[in-house]
Amino acid sequence: MALNASSLRWLIGVAVGLAALHGALAVVWGPGPVIAVFPWYVPMMHSYLALAALSIAFLSFGRYRALGEPAPFWVGVAFSTFAVLAVFYVLSWPGLLPDEQGLIAQLPNTAAWLWFLKFSALALCLLTAAFARWPRAGTSAERWWFWLNVGAMTTGATIASLSLAFERFLPLLVVDGRWTLHTVGWLGALVLAFAAGAVLLARRQRQTGDVLLGYVALAALVFAFAILTALIGGKRYDLWWYGQRFLWVGGFSVILFGLLAEYVGLYEREREKANQLAALQQVTDPALAREGLESLLQTLLERMVAIMAANVGAILLLDRMSQELVLRKGVGISEDQVARFRVRVGESFAGQVAARNAVFRVRDALADSAIWRPRLKAGQSRALLGAPMRIGEEVIGVVQLEFPVAREFTSQEERLIEVAAERAALAVEQARRLEEVLKQERLRDEFISAAAHELKTPVTTIKGYVQLMRRWAPEGHEPRELEAFAVINAQCDRLSRRVEEMLEAVRYQAAPPELRRVRFDLGELAAQVAQRLQVTTSLHRLVVRHGAPVPVAADRERIEEVLASLLDNAIKFSPHGGEVEVRVRAQEENAIVAVRDHGVGIPRERQPHIFEPFYEASPAGTPGYRSVVSLSLYLSKVQIELHQGRIWFESEEGQGSTFSFRLPLAAGERDDGKA
């Protein structure tokens, strides 16, 4: 973010206004009366500078911790060191005690030395801020930032203490109110240092867009003019010398109020990036299922390019055979480049990201021959940021962003691209797994279809020969033979049903069947199915309870299959017999059917899988287990959902189960409260 023009004019107005106020006072009173009326004028000014410097340091270190950029760290070091030396300067100011003594100094010369020391430390640290590339938050150098700052302040305090201890031996900077050659030379060096700092900080601000550097550059320019103002006075303490204090106050105010104003914008930007980060993290399985891999990768890349204000974005996937990164998706890249872009691991920028297996950044690619490419040379991209796409520790690709100007990257930006790479890797892995499952499912369906057709013919043949054998004995069969024929015939019917279920399950996977809807009473149909199945068991009593008609518009044959499956399931899992109850009722705009048994129930750990194909509710060796796994519950679920209905169950092991389903009532029918 560049320095806002309106805020810049406002801040310059503050500094100029303060200087104008002092000028007006000086014109009215002259230089002498200012000191006479305000004997604590200079200590008050520098006390404000000390407090402002501490505030600036606090805000700068906070900005460093938030963004991870090195420049705010050195700005913090500059002003925290200045604050320590400013306290010594105020306490050593001549005139705080009688005989022109300070609270901690004996000679007036000592305060002058401390003045030069604090502004020299400020100028040097600001010059460092213009060049510094470290420390960066999140790196190994980060742990040194606190001790480095403490060391800088300790050094400043030590030098100040030594100046106090050996003040009688310090070279004189002022003699009879006039400056020595040392003073003039030192002031000239400070003018040059602050002027150079202003230029270099402004240049880096244009490169990085860091608004803090813009404020500090403006303040450094004001500081240079402040010292130049003192030099114009002609090597002595006069109006010009005291006037520079207002320029110092103005410069510090520019940074302090500018940082406070910018912190509001920083908070809003960081909150927005946090929201964007959360949005990226929400791109998971549902989005992949809805959009597909290609669309999801494109969405991720476009979102990252927009969030980061990049001009080029790319997602490259690793070809394991050739160990080359192949461009899969691109933003700001021509289709021709997408088709032919390949990079070997370890080469160019993306290759280095993959080789390092970590977030990698390049501030200025033109300065790095290992990153250089013809497109970069043409000026389309300068700064680069990339992150590896990983599954575990294995690199499967790279997300890369390019920017039109050289710049630094914040830890938050690095985290954003890291999350984008994680999401992209997750999407690729999910797509691969989904593809494997659909392979597997296709093979399963092919096997089921082939097995069902292979079983259908011999089962039909066995059943036919059993019927023939029953007719071949003209004098009839013995009872045990008839019983054997009945068992064989029943088992053939059972296998036939299972074969039909298998074939129907495969047909459902291929395409949903067409429903032949008719209007009928669901309660009447339930009674018919229960009556038909009652003759198959003598241990159970099938009871249907329903009141007023419950009309539905559905495929009667398929709903009949569902009712038969649920009743057969209830009989199967009630090996000791008992009552099986079927309730049919209308509720609001739905018809509800519940089939309840008092059998073995379903173990809790198996309940989530009951409607899955080829899943047996009872483990082998338990009551209700059958050697041939039924598909009836799975098919019932499919058929009910085809009717825009819902099927569910409640079960407790040892207490029985209740399977229920609902269907929409036929048009014009509602609950009359009598069911």
Please measure the distance between the N-terminal and C-terminal CA atoms of the chain and give it in whole angstroms. Answer: 69
Cα–Cα distances (Å) from 140 to 35, 60, 72, 137, 143, in that order, read: 52, 20, 18, 8, 7
What's the 3-state SS for 281-319?
HCCCHHHHHHHCHHHHHHHHHHHHHHHHCCCEEEEEEEE
488 and 399, same domain (yes or no): no
CB 644 within 8 A of CB 560: no
Secondary structure element (H or E) that encloses residue 170, with its range: none
Per residue in 523-559, pLDDT (tens digit) is 999 999 999 888 888 899 999 998 889 999 999 988 9
**Which tokens hold the place of 180?**
């020595």
For residues 552 and 606, state if they share a domain.
yes
On whether residue 669 sits in a domain, the answer given is no
Shared domain for 417 and 448, answered yes or no, is no
Residue 153 lies in a domain: yes
Residue span of the structural domain in which 541 resides = 517-664
Q: Does residue 116 share a domain with residue 155? A: yes
CA–CA dist 443, 441 (Å, integer): 5
Residue type, 194: F
Q: Are residues 488 and 551 in the same domain?
A: no
In terms of domains, do 115 and 262 share one? yes
Please tell me whether the peptide bond between 513 and the residue prior to it is cis, using omega within 30 degrees of 0. Answer: no
Kindly list the distances between the CA atom of residue 200 and the CA atoms of 102, 122, 129, 517, 548, in Å, as whole numbers in the listed order: 38, 15, 9, 81, 90
CB 301 within 8 A of CB 313: yes
**For residue 295, with 0-12 CB atoms within 10 Å meaning exposed, 13-18 middle and 19 or more buried, which class applies?**
middle
In a domain, 271, yes or no: no
Q: Is residue 405 part of a domain?
A: yes
Q: Do 467 and 576 lie in a common domain?
A: no
- Asked if 314 and 349 count as a contact pair (C-beta separation under 8 A), the reply is no
523 and 633 co-located in one domain: yes
Residue 280 lies in a domain: no
pTM of the predicted structure, to 2 decimals: 0.49
The DSSP secondary-structure symbol of 140 reads G
Looking at the structure, tell me whether residues 361 and 424 fall in a common domain: yes
End residue of a domain, out of 205, 235, 266: 266
Asked if residue 151 and residue 75 are part of one domain, the reply reads yes
> Tokens at residue 572, please?
């199967």
Distance separating alpha carbons of residues 256 and 55, to the nearest angstrom: 7
> What is the predicted pLDDT for the residue at 182?
87
| Whether 247 and 314 share a structural domain | no
Q: E-assigned strands of 304-375?
A: 312-319, 324-331, 342-344, 360-362
Annotate 546-608 with DSSP letters as a single string: E-S--EEEEEHHHHHHHHHHHHHHHHHT-TT-EEEEEEEEEETTEEEEEEE--S----GGGGG
Residue 77 host element (H or E): helix 70-91
Parts of the chain with a pLDDT under 70: 1-39, 136-143, 233-243, 265-292, 336-339, 368-380, 435-438, 440-457, 459, 465, 473-477, 491, 494-495, 497-513, 614-630, 668-675
Within 10 Å of residue 108's Cβ, how many Cβ atoms? 18
Q: Give the CATH number of the domain where residue 253 resides.
A: 1.20.1070
Give me the pLDDT at residue 148, please. 84
Phi then psi dihedrals of residue 71, to 5 deg: -60, -45
How far, rounded to the nearest angstrom, does the alpha carbon of residue 246 sit from its chain's CA centroid? Answer: 47
Residue 672 domain flag: no
CA 444 to chain centroid, in Å, comes to 38
Q: State whether 345 and 384 are in the same domain.
A: yes
Q: Is residue 279 part of a domain?
A: no
Of 452, 475, 510, the residue that ends a domain is 510
Q: Measured on CA atoms in the order 174, 175, 181, 184, is the torsion positive or negative? A: positive
Amino acid at 222: V
- CA–CA dist 553, 668 (Å, integer): 11
> CA-CA distance, 352 to 327, in Å (whole number)?
15
DSSP letter string, 498-543: HHHHHHHHHHHHH-PPPP-EEEEEHHHHHHHHHHHHHTT-SSEEEE
Is residue 442 within 8 A of residue 506, CB to CB? The reply is no
CATH number of residue 328's parent domain = 3.30.450.40
578 occurs within a structural domain: yes
Long-range contacts at 646-651 (CB < 8 A, ≥ 24 apart): 647/562, 647/611, 649/602, 649/607, 649/610, 651/601, 651/602, 651/607
Dihedral through CA 206, CA 209, CA 210, CA 216, nearest 10? Answer: 30
Domain total of the chain = 4
Give the span between the Cα atoms of 490 and 425, in whole angstroms.
54
Token pair recorded at residue 224: 């240079």
The SS3 assignment for 612 reads: coil
Spatial separation of the C-alpha atoms in residues 675 and 56, rounded to whole Å: 77
